[in-house]
Chains A and B, each alone.
Chain A
């Protein structure tokens, strides 16, 4: 399963919940992915300006700058435009999901999620495995 031979892929997880970041990090790291964390949209944009990850896991409902606003910023930035984004949503946020899809999000993971499933979705988005 671990196929990254050209250095590991980097994932940025943006979520205001510390335990959720820890959860995502633990599951992705055990599969050999490199994970960095941002607590909200503002910190995420700051980190993205410095270095670009291979994929962003983005929570929609966040204080400060929410997921949709981050997506808008990404779409407007030439350098960041191409980074695939997977949204982390809760059930019943259909409207946000549609907005996100329109702004170019690659997919979404609905909370509560199965970690194994989450890892597969991320890997598929990175082209490491077939869906």
Chain B
């Protein structure tokens, strides 16, 4: 059988990682994603985040809709696992549709907020830890999650992974100079 080498959304065998000043960008191809949607008449399962919010593994994407993250589970049937956790809800595999870029600051919240101010039309201070929004970044639709004071995740369409990486990388590089 042909020996195929899996590559990430950015086209390399290993996930990209780069540092500019206090910011480190990391590609996270290991995160499995599955969306969860409530069906008509089904009561909302407990523990799911409210509008505009995120918990450790789940973030809100629209009325009655959430995205579930599974770090390290991209190569497994993550949707099937989520389906088992939320019987009666509609679960769709999303791992292959998106690409995750995480940005970590070694210098506190200020660098992250400066980067957000360059990239998205959302108040960076109001985007506190535990908030998640879908918005536009360079005309691409993205989810922005504030994981912590000094960490954000930007999840964009996989086909635009290169453009998304370029946009975030360039903004971080300009902040450095």
A binds B: no
Question: Which positions in B face A, CB cutoff 8 Å?
Answer: none
